[in-house]
């Protein structure tokens, strides 16, 4: 049987506060603008670098995979957060 004490309860409430704080910061409009920069500048730039840097296939492949991942990850997060914001509006 698990033992719970005041310290573990305090730690759990601290974790909940931190998760809420992180969620509020990540949905900040500033971070949404950064996501758009990642989708339209950083990701395509990495893909471009992967095509012009043909000397090292591992480095080229790394830039390509990272660029595509950046676009997909930040694009999905941007759209998910915008959909959530629209649902919250009356």
pLDDT in tens, the chain (90 residues): 444 444 445 455 555 556 667 677 777 888 999 999 999 999 999 999 999 988 899 999 999 999 999 999 999 999 999 998 888 776
Quote the DSSP letter at residue 27. Answer: T
Domain membership of residue 56 (yes or no) is: yes
Angle between helices 43-52 and 57-88 (to 10 degrees): 170
What's the pLDDT tens digit per position in 75-90? 999 999 999 888 877 6
Domain membership of residue 59 (yes or no) is: yes
Domain membership of residue 53 (yes or no) is: yes
Residue 45 corresponds to which tokens in the numbers above?
Answer: 């730039």
Domain membership of residue 52 (yes or no) is: yes
Domain membership of residue 67 (yes or no) is: yes
Query: Containing domain of residue 82, as a range?
Result: 29-88
Domain count, the chain: 1
Question: What pLDDT is stored for residue 17 in this prediction?
Answer: 52
């Amino acid at each position: 049987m698990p033992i719970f004490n005041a310290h573990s309860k305090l730690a759990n409430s601290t974790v909940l506060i931190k998760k809420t704080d992180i969620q509020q910061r990540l949905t900040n409009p500033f971070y949404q603008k950064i996501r758009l920069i990642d989708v339209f500048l950083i990701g395509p730039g990495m893909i471009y670098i992967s095509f012009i840097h043909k000397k090292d296939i591992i480095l080229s492949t790394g830039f390509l995979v990272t660029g595509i991942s950046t676009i997909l990850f930040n694009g999905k997060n941007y759209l998910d957060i915008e959909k959530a914001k629209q649902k919250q509006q009356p």
